[in-house]
Amino acid sequence: MSSETLKIPQATAKRLPLYYRFLKNLHSAGKLRVSSAELSEAVKVDSATIRRDFSYFGALGKKGYGYNVDYLLSFFRKTLDQDELTKVALVGVGNLGTALLNYNFLKNNNTKISVAFDIDEAKIGSTMSGVTIYHMDDMEKVLTELGITIAILTVPAPFAQSITDRLAQANVKGILNFTPARLTVPATMRVHHIDLAVELQSLVYFLKHYGVNEVEELEEVEE
Amino acid sequence: MSSETLKIPQATAKRLPLYYRFLKNLHSAGKLRVSSAELSEAVKVDSATIRRDFSYFGALGKKGYGYNVDYLLSFFRKTLDQDELTKVALVGVGNLGTALLNYNFLKNNNTKISVAFDIDEAKIGSTMSGVTIYHMDDMEKVLTELGITIAILTVPAPFAQSITDRLAQANVKGILNFTPARLTVPATMRVHHIDLAVELQSLVYFLKHYGVNEVEELEEVEE
DNA sequence: AGTTTTATGTGAAATGGATAACAATGTTTT
DNA sequence: AAAACATTGTTATCCATTTCACATAAAACT
């Protein structure tokens, strides 16, 4: 409902970063062209789906040839706003939070954890992986000053909702929620969940109940 | 295509662990009954969807009353095999792997990281959070001995595919893949992806391009 | 230059999932 | 015991997404 490119399906939007990453790989490997079939093999998405996804942005390829890697790459770089750095806050510097601090988001995306918050006095004022840790009491102030609108939430579940409310106050628009809590947020915010326990548990369920494709043809499959 | 309960939709199956967790909360809070509407509020899933999900397992509720918390809970405990402990292996004890070791999957699910593998001599032989770390050279042997068929993969991307091939050899059936690599696996295996960079990146994309529901009504929404 | 091959972009069909809406039925109240 | 109420289970509908299949056009070959 905003911006240039009109209404890409959500499912497509979720695959864009994936395409982008693999295109970068191809580029580094010196490949000049690529077909939807090749790309399909690499990212494990049906080739028709890939062509359809690309087609939302216009005709990016050439019939009988495929796609020019450099062109596609620079197109996606623009589309994904990879030219400007996106600053993100980390809220909660526990085990998982620390791991995410060390995880180099920058390498693949132009996204960086620029600031972190916690309540542990031992951590406050120190830096980890070059990121300064502030007290959560100063969260609103610091976020507003830095103009950060995206937060990664890795606090204990019982605090998740109240902290979310404060993030909303501080004009944060997006939360990547690693907490098991299901957050209530204003309509102006967007939450993506990564629920580790649910992910693991549902994998277990699938294996036990959907059983393991009774080796009929033994072709290669995915997800 | 196996087991008792015939073919639950995948989308439903992914929500089961979520329902289970919230039912446990309700139980602890001493609630005896719950309606699909209440549950909907808590887990942020449409109440009709919840009723539909439950209905795949038969008539679990009572009209005009709702669902009996204890009954539902024990039903899901059976359905999700929460009575037997599911042992899981962790492959790659880096930042993220370490965080997952400390993350207590046991608390919510009856799932436990029982063994870990790495190639760092400094870590091998030691235990973290009570889990012994073995050398990856011994992976097949140890996995087979312990009869473990589920692995969490947190190794550097370049090693992901070759290690996956070895896991397949060792009779592992499910992988929770935190690696950006898209794995090629035999049809007998199942892979769930958790791609942190893609998750963050797509959140950024949504915020920039779908913009933030232009505050029309300002109702509470989610995801 | 003509023929064959390749691979896109897309209409049409198929699949999968979410939601609205309500009859059926048990619960609660009076 | 009757009336009013609440809430399920499900049918029908809707919506989003995936996939098929092929006309089209460019590329590669001869």
In chain A, where the domains are located:
10-78, 86-199
What superfamily would CATH give domain A86-199? NAD(P)-binding Rossmann-like Domain (3.40.50.720)
Cα gap B189→B206, rounded to integer Å: 32
B10, B171, B206, B209: best to mutate for the A interface, most A CBs within 10 A: B209
* Mutate: best of A209, A214, A221, partner B, most B CBs <10 A: A209
pLDDT tens-place string over residues A101-153: 998 776 777 899 999 999 999 999 999 999 999 999 999 999 999 999 999 99
At residue B5, the pLDDT reads: 53
- Strand D closer than 7 A to residue B51 Cβ: yes
Chain B residues with CB under 8 Å of A80 CB are: 201, 204-205
CATH architecture of B10-79: Orthogonal Bundle (1.10)
Nearest CA of chain B to the CA of A53: how many Å?
15
Q: How many CB pairs under 8 A join A and B?
A: 253
Which residues on A lie below 8 Å from B179 (Cβ)?
none
- A113 → chain B, closest CA residue: B200
- In this prediction, residue A212 carries a pLDDT of 56
Determine the distance from the C-alpha atom of residue A93 to the mean position of all C-alpha atoms in its chain, rounded to a whole number. 19
The residue length of chain A stands at 223
Q: Where are the beta strands (DSSP E) in chain B?
A: 33-34, 67-68, 86-91, 111-118, 127-128, 131-135, 150-153, 174-177, 185-186, 190-193, 220-221
Least confident of A102-106, A180-184, B158-162: A102-106
Same fold across A10-78 and A86-199: no
Gap from A61 CA to D30 C1', Å: 27
CB contact A49 to B (< 8 Å): no
CA atoms within 13 A on the CB side of B102: 12
Max Cα distance, chain A (Å): 62
Burial letters B135-162, b for 16+ CB under 10 A, else e: ebeebeebbeeeebbbbbbbbeeebbee
pLDDT band at B162 (very low <50, low <70, confident <90, very high): very high
Nearest alpha carbon to residue A201 among B17, B7, B138: B17
Query: Pick from A154, A148, A140: which is nearest to A173 by CA?
Result: A148
B14 touches chain A (CB under 8 A): yes
DSSP class of residue B40 equals H
Q: Given a cut of 60, is residue B4 above it in pLDDT?
A: no
Q: What is the pLDDT of residues A8-52, one digit of tens each?
A: 999 999 999 999 999 999 999 999 999 999 999 999 999 999 999
Instruction: Establish if A128 touches chain B: CB-CB under 8 angstroms.
Output: no
Question: Is nucleic acid strand C under 7 Å from A35's C-beta?
Answer: yes
Residue among A213, A207, A223, A181 at smallest CA distance from B81: A207
Q: How many CB atoms lie within 10 A of CB A169?
A: 13
pLDDT band with cut points at 50, 70 and 90 for residue A4: very low
- pLDDT, one tens digit per residue, over B101-150 is 998 776 777 899 999 999 999 999 999 999 999 999 999 999 999 999 99
The pLDDT assigned to A165 comes to 98
Model confidence at B175: pLDDT above 80: yes
**CB neighbours of B52 closer than 8 A, spacing ≥ 6?**
B12
Q: Please indicate whether residue A109 or residue B164 has the higher confidence score (pLDDT).
A: B164
Q: CA B129, CA B118: separation in Å to the nearest integer?
A: 15
Pick the more confident residue, B110 or B164. B164
Report if CB A46 to strand D is under 7 Å. yes
**pLDDT band for position A5 (cuts 50, 70, 90):** low
Q: Of all nucleotides in the shown strands, which has a C1' nearest the CA of B38? A: D7
H helix or E strand, kind and range, residue A116: strand A111-118
* Secondary-structure class of domain A10-78 per CATH: mainly alpha
* Model pLDDT, residue A109: 79
B161 in Cβ contact with B189 (< 8 Å): no
Q: What is the pLDDT of residues A77-97, one digit of tens each?
A: 999 989 999 999 999 999 999
Is the pLDDT at B212 greater than 60, yes or no?
A: no
| Separation of CA A144 from chain center | 23
**One-letter identity of residue B160:** A
Query: Do A196 and B105 make contact, defined as CB atoms within 8 angstroms?
Result: yes
